[in-house]
Amino acid sequence: MRLFDGMTVENGELNISGVGVSELKAQYGTPLYVYDENMLVNQCRTFINNFKSSRFSTEVLFASKAFSCLEVLRIANREGLGVDVVSLGEIHTAYKAGYDMRRAYFHGNNKTREELQYALEVGVGTIVIDNNYEYEMINKIVRESGNTVDVLLRINTGIDAHTHEYIKTAKDDSKFGYSVYDETIYDLIADINNQSNLNFVGFHSHIGSQIFEKTSFFEAVKVVMEFTRRVQERLGLTISVLNLGGGFGVYYTEEDRPFELAEFLREYIEVVERESDNFGLDLTKVVIEPGRSLTCNAGSTLYSVGGVKKTFAGREYVFVDGGMADNPRYALYKAKYEAMLANKMNEEADATYTVAGKCCESGDMLVMDAKLPRAEQGDLLLVSSTGAYNYSMSSNYNRLPKLPVVFVKDGTSRLVVKGETLEDLIRQDI
Ligand SMILES: *Cc1c(COP(=O)(O)O)cnc(C)c1O
């Protein structure tokens, strides 16, 4: 069980950035998402300060699908990050947060006409084209609008890095991007490059998520740059922008061994500079787009314990007042988390519990074998590292209202997303 920066123990109680968990419960109730604002800001700064080159400009985008709400976007904007958006809702949230939309990149494999029109209306700076079908539509809509927009083409390098190692597959079945091994890609690029309303600037590649092997990223840089050179040679054009995606792995449990971020980013830049020389490229901008690694460790979920139950077979459950509706990641892919009894931090963790939620699904689990002190009704249970893909993936399953989100900073807390009410739950019902 890891205590992150900003977590301290005072009289046996967990404090996050100087605010005790019992105080959070008294003020906002449980279940509750709690973010350490200093950690969020520090992660933004680590990216901005270390992904820097004297040779080309760099841009760090916040992949907002990891955690999209107005306040986190205001912070990312203030800290100088651009934003990656993939839907009408994500565009709208960034826009309403006051984002300079020229710094927004619109991703996705199936953008709709409505989304594209809205993106142009609010001035999204870059559209990332995924495929031919989409390209035709984007081209048409942009031409009709009379605007000009920067475009990148999403390429697929065949590097599959969803696991702890990368595998290079010549035949890639991913739904994203255009394979660099597909000969028809050159015609598509030439065609895009010929459109007067589309300003074709370069390529985008994202190789997966929760990746721990630096070599996966470095290998992808090589494949992208080798391809870029081939395109330049064959089509006689100059590529100026490469967006290398996100996917930097983070700590959830002791099984995860993330690299030191600042050091990695500096190394990453060196590799990009070196390979760009090797392949004779003349880049003006290199972009990355972290999501999980910006917000994951800053967020935790605070629950109250309802009861403890020992099954006939011997497994001991501790039941909390949330579950798969606020964190579906165990149910989705058996994601692992750490838990602590936040009001019993000094007690020995000599029991093994399965932390389960209150939803009507056997898979409604949060942590499989959590080492905790003896739990009882009324205890506060905290699951750490829930800051990415929790709030954004939450649902109203079993008609559970979505949780409030609170930011804490240096002894004070503030509500940044209100929890849903019962009225909210039936608001759209007719
Ligand atoms: C999801 C995604 C990201 C962010 O991935 P993380 O693993 O959260 O860093 C970046 N770029 C694209 C295109 C994505 O789909």
User: CA–CA separation, 162 vs 47, rounded Å?
Assistant: 22
Tokens of 347: 């007690």
- Of the candidates 262, 290, 318, which is a domain's last residue? 290
Same-domain pairing of 199 and 241:
yes
206 lines ligand 1 (CB under 6 A): yes
90 lines ligand 1 (CB under 6 A): no
78 is in an annotated binding site: no
Residue identifier of the C-alpha nearest atom 11 of ligand 1: 245
Residue % of the chain over a pLDDT of 70: 97
Same-domain pairing of 148 and 164:
yes
How many whole angstroms from 267 Cα to the centroid of ligand 1? 20
66 lines ligand 1 (CB under 6 A): yes
Same-domain pairing of 112 and 261:
yes
CATH, residue 381: 2.40.37.10
Contacts of 390 (CB under 8 A, 6+ apart): 33, 67, 299, 301, 326, 327, 329
How many whole angstroms from 246 Cα to the centroid of ligand 1? 5
Residue % of the chain over a pLDDT of 90: 94
Q: Do the domain assignments include residue 2?
A: no
The per-residue pLDDT for 163 is: 64
- Of the candidates 290, 325, 344, which is a domain's last residue? 290
Contacts of 30 (CB under 8 A, 6+ apart): 302, 303, 304, 321, 322, 380
246 lines ligand 1 (CB under 6 A): yes
- What digits encode the pLDDT tens for the residues 14-55? 999 999 999 999 999 999 999 999 999 999 999 999 999 999
99 is in an annotated binding site: no
The per-residue pLDDT for 169 is: 62
63 lines ligand 1 (CB under 6 A): yes
Domain of residue 204: give its range. Answer: 38-290
Residues annotated as catalytic are 360
Confidence of residue 174 (pLDDT cuts 50, 70, 90): confident
Residue 170, pLDDT > 60, answer no
389 is in an annotated binding site: yes
CA-to-CA dists, residue 133 to 127, 163, 357, angstroms: 14, 30, 42
Strand positions, DSSP E, 216-312: 241-243, 285-288, 299-310
Confidence of residue 160 (pLDDT cuts 50, 70, 90): confident
- What digits encode the pLDDT tens for the residues 180-215? 999 999 999 999 999 999 999 999 999 999 999 999
12 is in an annotated binding site: no
DSSP structural state of residue 420 = P
Total number of domains constituting the chain: 2
To test the ligand 1 pocket, which listed residue (51, 81, 209) has its Cβ within 8 A of the most ligand atoms?
Answer: 209
Strand positions, DSSP E, 264-361: 285-288, 299-310, 316-320, 339-341, 351-356
Contacts of 143 (CB under 8 A, 6+ apart): 195, 197
The per-residue pLDDT for 164 is: 64
How many whole angstroms from 55 Cα to the centroid of ligand 1? 25
Tokens of 60: 């760090």
- Of the candidates 264, 290, 316, which is a domain's last residue? 290
